[in-house]
Structure 1
Amino acid sequence: MSRTTPSALFTRRTLRSLCRNPTIDFFYSKSPPSRPFTHKPSLLLVARPFSRPQLPFLHPISRTNIAQTQLGRFISTERKQRWKAQLWSQLRFHAYLWPSVLLAAILLLGVQHTKLERDYPTPREWTFWSRWILRDAKYTEFGEHLLTDWEKAGYLYTEVIRRLESEKYDGQNLIEGEASIRGSFANAGFDISAKSEPWRRGYYEALMGAGRAAEHLDGMCKRKGQVRGRVYPRESIPGPDNPRPKPLPFDKNRGHENVPTADEVEDAFPPPEKFYLKVLTTNGFDTRQRLEAAMAYADWCDFKGLTETAEETYRWAVDIAQAGVPGSAADVVDMKTGVIHKDKEDVVTENILKVCTALGVHHAKTGDVKQALPIFLSVLRARKSLPPPPSSGPLDPTVSGSTNTPKGQEQKDQGIWPYVHALKDLIIERPYPPAPSSGNERPFHTLKEACEEVGLMTYIGEILFATSDSEREKGLSWTRDSVEAAEAVMWVMDERKEDDGKERCRECLETGLQNWKAMARQMSRLAAQKEHELADASGGSGSGSGLLGSLGFGWGLGLGKAKQLEQLRQEKQRWEEENMQIELRKEKTLPLTQPLKPVSRGWMATSW
C-alpha cells in the first residue's frame, strides 16, 4: 500500500472544507464561531433539539443583559418562598402589635382619667367630652405641676362653659335669666333651677375655675384671632405707650421669638368679673356658691386697688349670707358696721361668720382698723358660743374635734392604690359625691372652728399692737395666746389624725410665731431706748458729788429715777429672755410647722 503524503492530505482537507463552505475565502477567512458547550451538533441528532434555558455561567453574555442576569441570579424559587413567608409573618406581627399598642394606650388613658375622676368628680349626666375636658382643666390647675399652665386651664374651662351653655351638647332647656343689677354691676345669667344639683355644681366649678384663670392671666395678651398659643405680658409688647418693652425670657423650646406689636395683640382672656358676676346673677345656685363668688370678686377688687367697689361687694355678700338665715332673723349683722349683734349669736350661720371675717380683713388691709377690730371681736364671740358636736359632750375649744379620718386613707392615696381603685372604677362607676352644705346652718365647735378662732386672735393681736402704744402689752398677750392655742389644736389633730383645717392652723401658728418674735424685739428695743434716754438725761442734769455722785447718780436723778432706770433694765432683760423662749418654741413646734413627709415607695421597694 502506498503512503499518502502530507501535502496530498492537506489538499484533500482543504478541498473538502471549501466544498462545505464555498463562501469562505481561503486566504482571509476567520475561524468559525465557538460553539457553546451545552449545544450538541445537529449532525449527531436525529431531530432538532428543543430549546432549553442556558446556564449563565457557562456561556458569555452581553453587557446589555447584565442587570437582568444579576436579578436572575438573585431571584430563585427558594428565595421567593422565603420572602413570601417573611412578608406574611411581618404582616401578622404588625397586625397584632399596633392594634395591641393602641388598645393598651387607650386602656392606660382610661385608667388615668378614671383616677382623675376619683380626684375631680364630674356630673354623670354630662356628655363624655364635657366630663373629659373638665377633668383635664382641674388637673391642669390643681395637679402636681411645677408651674400651672393658666392659658391651657382657662381655655379648657371656657370650653366646658361653652358646651354647658349650648343646646347642642349639655345646655338643653336652659332659660335666659334677667340681669341682676346692683349698683354698677350688671350681667346676664341663666335660670338653671330646673337642672339637677350635680349639673349645677359642675357648672359652678367651671365658672369659678375660669374666674381664677382670668385673675392669673390679667395683663397678658395674645395674637389676634389666635385661639390657643403663647401669651405675652403687656409690658413686653412694643407700642406708643410702651417705647421700651421688657425683653421676653429665653424659651428653650421656641427660642427667641419675635414679639408682636400692640396692633397685633388682644387680651388673652376675659376679665374675672365676667365669670364671678355670672355666678351671682344665675338663678339656681345656693347661698354658699353665690357667697364664694361675691367674696372672690371683692378680693379681686382689693387686689386691683378698687377699695370702694370691694367694700360694696362685701356688703352685697353680707346681704346674701343674711338672706339664707332660716326663719325671720334677717338682721343678724349690722349692715353699716358689719358687727354681729349680741342678741343674734344663736342664729349665726357659717356663711355669716365667713363673710364677716372677710369684711374685717378688708378693713384691716385698707388701714381702717377702727372698723376691723369690732368685727373680729364680734365674730370671735359668736364662734365661742357655738354648740359642741352632737356626737360628743362639752369639749374644750382647743381639743374639740370632728369625725376622725380613717387611718388607712393615707395609704390608699399613695403608691399603686389609686390605680388599683381606678381599675375597679372602670367596672363599677363611683357615685357622684353628695352635695356640700349650703352654709345656712349653724356650725358646731370642732377643731376646724378652733383653728378659725386662732386666726381671729392673731388678727386682734396685730391690730392692738400696731394701733395703740398703751395696748401693746394686750396685743402681745393676744398673740402669745394664739400661738399656744394653735399649738394645742395641732397636737390634738396629729393625735386624732385629722386634716380638716390643719393647714389653716399651721399658717396661724407660723404667723403667730413671727408676730410674737417681732413684737418682743420691738418691746426690747423700746425698753433699751428708754433706758438710754433716761441715762443720758440723768448724766447731763446731775453735777453733784458725794455718795450719790460716786454711785453714778447726779443730784438731778434722785432715788425715783434710779428705781425707774432699774425697772427699764429689768424690762429689757425680760424681753430678751422672751426672745429666747420664742426660739425654743420654734424648735418645739418644728414638727408641726414643717412635718416630715414619708418617702414614696415604688413598686420595686424591698421593705415596707
Structure 2
Amino acid sequence: MVHSRLSPSVSRRLLRSLVRNPGVDFFYSKPPRSRSFAHKPSLLLVARPIPRPQLPFLHPVSRTNVVQAQIGRFISTERKQRWKAQFWQQLRFHAYLWPSLLLATILTMGIQQVKFERDYPTPRDWSFWSRWLLRNAKFTEFSDDAKLQQVLTDWARAGRYYLDVLARLESEDQDGKFLMPTEASGTYADSLGIAGYDISAKSEQWRRGYHDTLMGAGRVAENLDGMCRRIREVSGRVYPRESIPGPDNPRPKPLPWDKKKGHEKAPTAEEVEDAFPAPEMFYMKVLTTDGFDTRQRLEAALAYADWCDFRGLNETAEDTYQWAMDIAQSGLRNGSTSVVDTKTGMIVKGKEDEVTENILNVCTSYAVHHAKAGNVKQALPVFLSVLRARKNLLPSPYGVTGTPRQNNEDEGWWSYLYALKDMIIDKPYPSAPPDGNERPYHTLKEACEEVGLMTYIGEILFATSDSEREKGLSWTRDSVEAAEAVMWVMEEQKEEDGKERCRECLETGLENWKDMSRQMARLAAKKEQDIASGSGFLGLGLGKASQVAKAHKETQRWEEENVQIELRRQKTVPLTQPIKPPAQGLL
C-alpha cells in the first residue's frame, strides 16, 4: 500500500500543504496559473485586462487608471451589441414617426384649406400665399369656429390677414405687377391723400378678390375704431383708448382681468399707436380705383356713408349719399341722369320703368339715413317712391325664385358623390354677380325688400302722427302677413337668397305690431276710464252709457288683437327660429 510506504513526516507535510492550498491537485504537482482578481476572460472584454497592481498601503492611485478600470469593467461585448441594436431601433422609429407626423400635419392643413376654399373662394390667378391669407382672413371674420369663446370675432387677427393680402396685391414684386396709380380728380379722397390704382388690365377674378379684401379691411377698421396697440407690435394686444392714461384721459378705465396675465398695466399714450388705419382709407381707395364696376363702387360708398352716420358726421354722410346717387345713375344704359332727384332722394314719378337695382338700393339707404336722423318727413316720401317702383317690377321668367332651376345636387346619393368630387377636383371660381345696372325682376327676394319698406312706413306713420296711428299699425300688420307668406313660400321652394332679410323683417314687424297694439290698448283703456269718470253731455250724464260701451268695445278690440299677435308669434316660431339639423358624417 502507498500509505504504508510513506514516512509519517512526509505524510504530515503533504496534508499541511493541502490544507493551506486546497486548489492544488493531488495528482498534479505543478500549481495552476493565477488569474487577475475580479476580471472576466480576455475574450469577453473590449479593453485589455489590467492586472491588479501590488501597491503598498495608502499608495495614491491615479484617476486615469481608476476610470480605465471602471470602463473596462462596464463596457463588454454584450452591452455594446445591445446598445447598438437599441440605437438602430430608435433611429428607425424616429425615421418613421417624424416624417409621418409632418405628412399628417400637412394633410390636415390641406383638408382644412380645401374646406376654406369651398366656403370662401379665392381668385385662381393669385399666388399661393395670397389665396392662403385671404381664406384665413374670411374664416377669422365670418366663421363661428374662429370666434373667441364662440362669441367675439378676433378683429385684430383678421385685420393682420387683410393687410398682408393688400401688401401682396399692391406689391410690384408679387401680385401687383403693372399697377398704375390713378391721377388726382379733386375729390374728397384727394384731400385725404388717398389714391387708388388702375386695375383695368387685371382679370375679373383679380379685381373681385381685391374688392373683397378692401371691403373686409374696411369692416375691420370700423370694429377696431378707438383701439390702439404698442408701437411696432403688429401682433400685440389691442387696448381701448379709454384705458390709456394720458393728458386727455387723467382717469383711465382699468383693463379687464386676464386669466393668464392677471391685472395688466396699460401702456401710456406715448407708447401706443392706432391699432388699424381709418375706414375711409379703404372705402375711398375703392371709390378712386379704376376697374371696379358700379355695384362694387356703390357698395363702398354706402358703407362709408353708413359709417359717417354712426360717427355723427351728418354733412359728410349727405355728401357721400349724393356721390352714391351719381354712381348709381352713371350705370344707366340710356345715359339718363334724371331718374332720381338727388336733392330729395325720391325716384321721379313716371321713371319707374328705368330704375335699376343700384338705384333702388341707394334710395332705400338714403331714406333710412333720414329716418335715423329723425327727419321722418323727408324719409317717408322716399320710402313710398321706392315701394311704388318695386310694385311695378316685372315678374321673373324663371318663376318666383328668379333663377333657372338646376339639377338638385343635395338630395339622395347624389349629394355624397358631388361632395366627394368637390374634395378631389377644385371647384371653379364663382361667376361674377350682376353689376346692378339692370332692372330687377319681381322675385321672392324683391318681395322681402317690399316687406322691409312696409315695415319702415308703418313705423314712421305710427310714430309721427296721432291721427295716423291706426294706419301705421295697419301697414305693420300687412308687412307681417306678407313676410310670413313669403317665408312659407321660401321654405317650400328651398330658396335661401334673401331669406335672412325676410326673417329679420318678420321679427321686427311682429315686435312693432305688439308694441303698437299694446300702446293702443293702453290709450283705449285710459279713454274708457276718463269717460266713465266724466259727467256726460252738458254734465247731465246724457249719452254717457253709450260712450262707455263704445270705449269698452274699443278696449276689448285691442286686447283681442294682442291675443292674435301672440298666436301669430307662436305660429311663426319655425320661421323665425328654425331648428338646424346636426351635421351627419364627413360628407
TM-score strictly above 0.5: yes
Kindly report which structure 2 residues correspond to 1:589-604, keeping only aligned pairs within 5 A, or say none: 589-602=572-585
Question: Hey, what does 1:362 align to over in structure 2?
Answer: 369
Contact 2:230 2:273 (8 Å CA) reproduced? yes
Question: Hey, what does 2:186 align to over in structure 1?
Answer: 181
Displacement after TM superposition at 1:77 (Å): 1.6
- Residue 125 (str. 1) matches residue 108 (str. 2): no
Displacement after TM superposition at 1:422 (Å): 5.7
- Residue 565 (str. 1) matches residue 570 (str. 2): no
Question: Hey, what does 1:155 align to over in structure 2?
Answer: 160
Displacement after TM superposition at 1:534 (Å): 2.3
Contact 1:521 1:579 (8 Å CA) reproduced? yes
Question: Hey, what does 1:432 align to over in structure 2?
Answer: 429
- Residue 217 (str. 1) matches residue 224 (str. 2): yes
Question: Hey, what does 1:342 align to over in structure 2?
Answer: 349
Q: Which moved more, 1:446-455 or 1:304-313?
A: 304-313
CA 1:440/1:512 → structure 2, altered by over 3 Å: closer, same or farther?
same
Q: Secondary structure at the match of 2:186?
A: strand
Distance 1:361 1:132 in 2: 38
Contact 2:355 2:389 (8 Å CA) reproduced? yes
Q: Secondary structure at the match of 2:395?
A: coil
Q: Secondary structure at the match of 1:181?
A: coil
Contact 1:214 1:270 (8 Å CA) reproduced? yes
Contact 2:358 2:437 (8 Å CA) reproduced? yes
Cα shift readout 1:476-508 (whole Å, capped 9, x = no counterpart): 000000000000000111111111111111110
- Matched to 2:186, the amino acid is I
CA 1:220/1:346 → structure 2, altered by over 3 Å: closer, same or farther?
same
Distance 1:133 1:93 in 2: 36
- Matched to 1:267, the amino acid is D
Contact 1:56 1:69 (8 Å CA) reproduced? no
CA 1:380/1:60 → structure 2, altered by over 3 Å: closer, same or farther?
same
Kindly report which structure 2 residues correspond to 1:220-369, keeping only aligned pairs within 5 A, or say none: 220-369=227-376
CA 1:406/1:304 → structure 2, altered by over 3 Å: closer, same or farther?
farther
Distance 1:118 1:303 in 2: 34
CA 1:405/1:380 → structure 2, altered by over 3 Å: closer, same or farther?
farther
Cα shift readout 1:236-289 (whole Å, capped 9, x = no counterpart): 111122121111111223333221011111111110000000000111100000
Q: Secondary structure at the match of 2:396?
A: coil
Q: TM-score, normalised by structure 1?
A: 0.84
Structure 1 gap segments, 5+ residues each: 14-33, 393-398, 543-554
Contact 1:180 1:188 (8 Å CA) reproduced? no
Question: Hey, what does 2:571 align to over in structure 1?
Answer: 588
Displacement after TM superposition at 1:53 (Å): 6.9
CA 1:588/1:185 → structure 2, altered by over 3 Å: closer, same or farther?
farther
Distance 1:153 1:410 in 2: 36
Question: Hey, what does 2:169 align to over in structure 1?
Answer: 164
- Matched to 1:376, the amino acid is F
Displacement after TM superposition at 1:562 (Å): 3.3
Distance 2:422 2:157 in 1: 25
Question: Hey, what does 1:114 align to over in structure 2?
Answer: 114
Q: Secondary structure at the match of 1:444?
A: coil
Displacement after TM superposition at 1:462 (Å): 0.3
Displacement after TM superposition at 1:133 (Å): 0.8
- Matched to 1:463, the amino acid is I
Equivalent residue pairs, number: 551
Overall identity of the aligned pairs, in %: 66
- Residue 577 (str. 1) matches residue 560 (str. 2): yes
- Alpha-carbon RMSD across the aligned residues, in angstroms, is 3.3
Kindly report which structure 2 residues correspond to 1:44-193, keeping only aligned pairs within 5 A, or say none: 56=39, 68-144=68-144, 145=147, 146=150, 147-182=152-187, 186=191, 187-193=194-200
Displacement after TM superposition at 1:175 (Å): 0.8
Contact 1:479 1:516 (8 Å CA) reproduced? yes
Q: TM-score, normalised by structure 2?
A: 0.87
Distance 2:99 2:189 in 1: 59
Q: Secondary structure at the match of 1:255?
A: coil
CA 1:412/1:298 → structure 2, altered by over 3 Å: closer, same or farther?
farther
Cα shift readout 1:570-601 (whole Å, capped 9, x = no counterpart): 11110000000000000111111111111223
Contact 1:111 1:422 (8 Å CA) reproduced? no
Q: Secondary structure at the match of 2:175?
A: coil
Contact 2:189 2:284 (8 Å CA) reproduced? no
Contact 2:181 2:196 (8 Å CA) reproduced? yes
Displacement after TM superposition at 1:423 (Å): 3.6
- Matched to 1:558, the amino acid is L
Distance 2:412 2:258 in 1: 39
Structure 2 gap segments, 5+ residues each: 1-5, 14-19, 42-49, 54-60
Distance 2:294 2:491 in 1: 33
- Matched to 2:542, the amino acid is G
CA 1:534/1:184 → structure 2, altered by over 3 Å: closer, same or farther?
farther
- Matched to 1:487, the amino acid is E
Q: Secondary structure at the match of 2:534?
A: helix
Question: Hey, what does 2:46 align to over in structure 1?
Answer: none
CA 1:189/1:133 → structure 2, altered by over 3 Å: closer, same or farther?
same
CA 1:35/1:461 → structure 2, altered by over 3 Å: closer, same or farther?
farther
Distance 1:36 1:99 in 2: 66
- Matched to 1:85, the amino acid is A
Q: Secondary structure at the match of 2:557?
A: helix
Cα shift readout 1:214-241 (whole Å, capped 9, x = no counterpart): 0000000011122221000001111122
Contact 1:402 1:447 (8 Å CA) reproduced? no
